[in-house]
Structure 1
Amino acid sequence: MTSVPVFLAGALRELLQPLNILCGLVAYFCWKLIYALYFSPLRNVPGSIWPRITSLALFFYEVRGLEPEFIKFHNKKYGGIFVMTPSRVAICDPEDSQIILGTHAFLKDKRYSNIEIMEPNMFLTVDPELNKQRRRQMGPSMSVANLKLMEPAILEAGPKQLFNKWDRDIEQSADGLTARVSYYNDLMLMAFDIVGSLGFGQTHRSLTSGDTQIVKWVHSAFMLIFLQSVMPLVKTTLFRQFIVKSFYDKFDAFHTLCAKAVSKRKKLLSGLQPNENKPKDILQSYIDAEDPESRIRMTSSQVVAETVISLLAGSDTTSNTMVWTIHLLLMHPHYYSRVVEEVRAVFDRDHIISYSEAKTSLPFLEACIYESLRLVPVATKMPRFIPPGGATLHGHFIPEGYNCTVSITGVNTNPEVWERSYEFYPERFLDNKANRRIVLTFSAGVRVCPGKNLAWMEIQSTLANIFNRYNLEIPADSLFTPDRVDNNGLPILMPRKLVTTCMSKFPERDCVVLVTRRV
């Protein structure tokens, strides 16, 4: 009876000999290679060897926040479609992207379903029916007409608050004329205050008050979303209770704050008289939102979930877009001068420029924003499942059960699509609606970014007011200047990293500018 266990133990010791382990690994690698090259349904799709064999090739880029560099390298080498992992292809062609994004048939993949930090919401849900219902309920909330009712609050929390901060910094500077400011921090806090004011129903002034507690909670939520999307193991009890407990605790505090705001607003509404007006903000719009087909309204917990995701998606993305636009203009001083001249030719220094005024009067500024969105998109990818029956993309049939990723980075910088694709060249968007339509930074089709109109309202009005009221100059100790160029003669941009959005890798060092008042 003891001979069998003894035999198994001996066999196990033999198998675990270093030479046998090495032979097993070599055999496994050879099989993966042979399968990838001769049997895989993706064998005819362009791409390099390592992504065909293992997902680690992409994972190593993702965890370091360098996924855009992975995409650009392979896009330039292989074109509009290439293998990202053994079961995934990247799509960098605008026409294929429109096909994928134009229908709910290509469902959001498991990276979205991996994120379980709150109730399902319009952005993260993989359920097309829930997404459709939310868009019917919330669509009017984010219309330009409705947002214009909120513009006074946007300007108060946005440009006006920024003016107060920068004017104070100038007055407190050594010479009383020039302030050294971190525009990354200031724009991030400002964008948070705008969305926070609209979503919480109360005045938020973290930029001028210095209270950044809620902003820290928001960043913790972003980290959880990133970690859960690339490493689902984070959701296990061990990680939740010990390793990343602080992230979950901060998110819970943030979620509780949103829940209290909804409860407070509903209590206020119950006491309103018939002739009293309701507040005009996103929170109220969500509470009032109704599906015109089913007449269903969102529950309080659903309003909380949508408010949380709106605040998350609407703060970092908007502020980082403004940061990259300023950085790109400072790296191209002839374009910076042109924007400043355009703004100041129309508006007096102390005039607060509204979104409508900026949209109507400042076409070159708008072109520069589009070019920033194209060249350094703050969102970089949209992973999808291949639908039942498979799909033909860029001339290659991809079967059901595989995945594709619409690469915003790839589409926006594809050398086959864009002339001077890696160059900051805003003229490409002047009077060119076709080019504007294929910039995918706000997505497209059935799941286009619901906050697109609000983002544009914030970005255009804020940048217009900054360039109208202040002069910006690169500090002498900056590592990145227009004169520091790459092998192609283009200015070297500050390094970036990708968490949930593409941001400066060292914002405290690289997003600093000298500010003086316009004379």
Structure 2
Amino acid sequence: MYLNPAVLAKTLWQSFQPIHILYGIVAYCIWKVFYEVYLSPLSHIPGPLWYRITSLPLLIHELRGDEPELMIKLNKKYGGLFVITPRRVAICDPKDSQIILGTHAFLKDKRYSNVEVMQPNTFLTVDPELNKQRRRQIGPIMSLANLKHMEPIILEAGTKQLYNKWDRDIAHAGEKHKARICYYDDLMLMTFDIISTLGFGQKHMSLTSGDTHIAKSVGSTLVIIFFESILPFFKTKLFRQHIAKSLYGKFDAFFALCTDAINNRKKLLSGLQPNEDKPKDLLQAFIDAEDPESRIRMTSDQVVTETIISLLAGSDTSSNTMTWTIHLLLLHPHYLARVVKEVREAFGRDHIINYSESKASLRFLEACIYESLRLIPVVTGMPRRMPTGGATLHGYFIPEGYNCSVSIAAINTNPEVWERPYEFFPERFLKNEAIKRQVLTFSTGVRVCPGKNLAWMEIHSTMANIFNKYDLELPEDVLFTPDRVDKHGQPITMPRMAAATYVPRFPERDCVVLISKRSD
């Protein structure tokens, strides 16, 4: 059969007329809607129409940083499981989350492996065998018994340095002896200094020295991880070498700093005398870490990567937890007064409170920290892939090849689980301590945060020492106060956004407090 080129060209030209292209787009859209609503394997699961058809609405919320609020809103409307993209469902039920997080069958989804700025590590790897090996290597390091040896470093870089900075600020405050500080900034730098000192093997005192280059490098790395995970464009050569050259430059310098720290430590070890002890910090523990099954140790590059991940996970999450706890207590002054009374009745004003003392004596302070972790979790979502053969969750079957996102924000406020779910109500943890296990901010199961004990050690002791030594009050010009309430009569919390962690949107404006030395 002979095809006349002129006829073929004319037919193609007619096919690509704007009206025909428009018809094709309309036909595709109609088919797409029909398929997702009636034929998709997720069509029997509740969820908003637009979210069934395209991933764009969820992506917009993620880029705006309000995805956790979206999950809470949709959880109220649709219950514990609903569609959020054509191939993804949200999980807002603690029982379902225990199933997902309790086994390696639900692998981390490709968002984790999208991050190419560093090699696979405890947090970013999607390979369950590598994760198991890392946890065998690192697990003993992060035990409370081992961290106890590092507590002098934690207190020196943490509480004692914070005291030095705040006492200096108060001394410069004039006759009123009240210093105006941004507690978000100070706590962020303090936790950076703790993990940096533990991870680099040398003192880092950015809070009191004003040297914030490490903090800025950590911030740049968090931004890179966030954008690489959700938008593949950010991994392109164009973006890395031109648009975000400064971000990647800071990360490269950060990586070099970690590498130098390891090389310096190895030189130090080579010169130790037989009767000299090795340093007791995270850097040394990572260098010495060995898998008890395979006897494999981490390479220098792997130690660098794990040190960086420790800095990212161990500083930002801890400081933000303390920030939100202070903010919520300032909005609920009767709870703040109760915490202060509990701390000061248990300890003298000049006593440096360590973790064990705080844990044993300050039940209400711990309840307030748990309530902060519940109400404003610093980690908000955990995306996973459906296992081979699919799985039934919340009564719905989801086939293999689809994904789910465990929404920590929605689980922690699920009205089917929590009494007064949207209120700051720390007494719940005094009445029933078993519900602490339902607060999933540190995850649970096989992927539980390996630095959980270190985070609790930092948070518990720092909070106790702050309330023991200082009085805190809101300035007159602050926007969010106990008297500014919503339609339910609850104090309105400051705006926040979710990127790698859940942070205040305007910390320099909203995380301001007047501090003075305790008056009694």
Structure-1-length-normalised TM-score? 0.98
Find the counterpart in structure 2 of residue 246 from structure 1.
Answer: 246
Q: Return the offset for 1:120.
A: 1.3
Distance 2:55 2:362 in 1: 45
2:439 is paired with a residue whose SS is coil
Distance 1:133 1:9 in 2: 64
Q: Return the offset for 1:273.
A: 1.0
Residues 423-434 of structure 1 correspond to what in structure 2 (within 5 A)?
423-430=423-430, 432-434=432-434
Distance 1:416 1:99 in 2: 18
User: Are 1:411 and 2:418 matched, yes or no?
Assistant: no
Which ranges in structure 1 are unaligned for 5 or more consecutive residues?
none
Distance 1:141 1:176 in 2: 46
Find the counterpart in structure 1 of residue 493 from structure 2.
Answer: 493
Question: Per-residue CA shift, 1:394-450, capped at 9, x if unaligned?
Answer: 000000000011111111111111111111000111152321001110000001000
One-letter identity of the residue aligned with 2:99: I
* Higher deviation after alignment, 19-28 or 333-342: 19-28
Find the counterpart in structure 2 of residue 332 from structure 1.
Answer: 332
Q: Return the offset for 1:470.
A: 0.4
User: Are 1:51 and 2:51 matched, yes or no?
Assistant: yes
Percent identity, please.
Answer: 68
* Higher deviation after alignment, 340-349 or 25-34: 25-34
2:346 is paired with a residue whose SS is coil
1:108 is paired with a residue whose SS is coil
Residues 381-400 of structure 1 correspond to what in structure 2 (within 5 A)?
381-400=381-400
Find the counterpart in structure 2 of residue 281 from structure 1.
Answer: 281
Q: Return the offset for 1:328.
A: 0.5
* Higher deviation after alignment, 23-32 or 341-350: 23-32
Distance 1:8 1:213 in 2: 62
One-letter identity of the residue aligned with 1:219: G
1:83 is paired with a residue whose SS is strand
User: Are 1:15 and 2:19 matched, yes or no?
Assistant: no
Distance 2:360 2:10 in 1: 80
Q: Return the offset for 1:3.
A: 6.5
Q: Return the offset for 1:26.
A: 2.4
Distance 1:184 1:29 in 2: 47
Give yes or no for contact 2:286–2:303 (8 Å, CA) kept in 1.
Answer: yes
Task: Count how many residue pairs are aligned between Structure 1 and Structure 2.
Answer: 518
Distance 2:246 2:201 in 1: 27
Give yes or no for contact 2:15–2:21 (8 Å, CA) kept in 1.
Answer: no
Question: Per-residue CA shift, 1:89-113, capped at 9, x if unaligned?
Answer: 0101111100000000000000000
Give yes or no for contact 2:496–2:502 (8 Å, CA) kept in 1.
Answer: yes
Distance 2:506 2:145 in 1: 38
1:406 is paired with a residue whose SS is strand
Distance 1:509 1:156 in 2: 29
Residues 482 and 8 of structure 1: is their aligned pair in 2 closer, same or farther, counting only changes over 3 Å?
A: farther
Find the counterpart in structure 2 of residue 307 from structure 1.
Answer: 307
One-letter identity of the residue aligned with 1:285: A
Distance 2:212 2:325 in 1: 24
Which ranges in structure 2 are unaligned for 5 or more consecutive residues?
none
One-letter identity of the residue aligned with 1:8: A
Residues 9 and 230 of structure 1: is their aligned pair in 2 closer, same or farther, counting only changes over 3 Å?
A: farther
Q: Return the offset for 1:243.
A: 1.1
2:412 is paired with a residue whose SS is helix
Distance 2:486 2:20 in 1: 49
Question: Per-residue CA shift, 1:221-244, capped at 9, x if unaligned?
Answer: 000000101101111111111111
Question: Per-residue CA shift, 1:187-224, capped at 9, x if unaligned?
Answer: 00000000000000000000000011111111110000
Find the counterpart in structure 1 of residue 222 from structure 2.
Answer: 222
Distance 1:188 1:270 in 2: 35
Find the counterpart in structure 1 of residue 158 from structure 2.
Answer: 158
Find the counterpart in structure 2 of residue 198 from structure 1.
Answer: 198
User: Are 1:293 and 2:293 matched, yes or no?
Assistant: yes
Residues 95-494 of structure 1 correspond to what in structure 2 (within 5 A)?
95-175=95-175, 177-430=177-430, 432-494=432-494
Distance 1:432 1:450 in 2: 25
Distance 1:40 1:475 in 2: 55
One-letter identity of the residue aligned with 1:145: A
Question: Per-residue CA shift, 1:429-477, capped at 9, x if unaligned?
Answer: 1152321001110000001000000000000100000011001001100
Question: Per-residue CA shift, 1:350-389, capped at 9, x if unaligned?
Answer: 1111000100000000000000000000000110010110
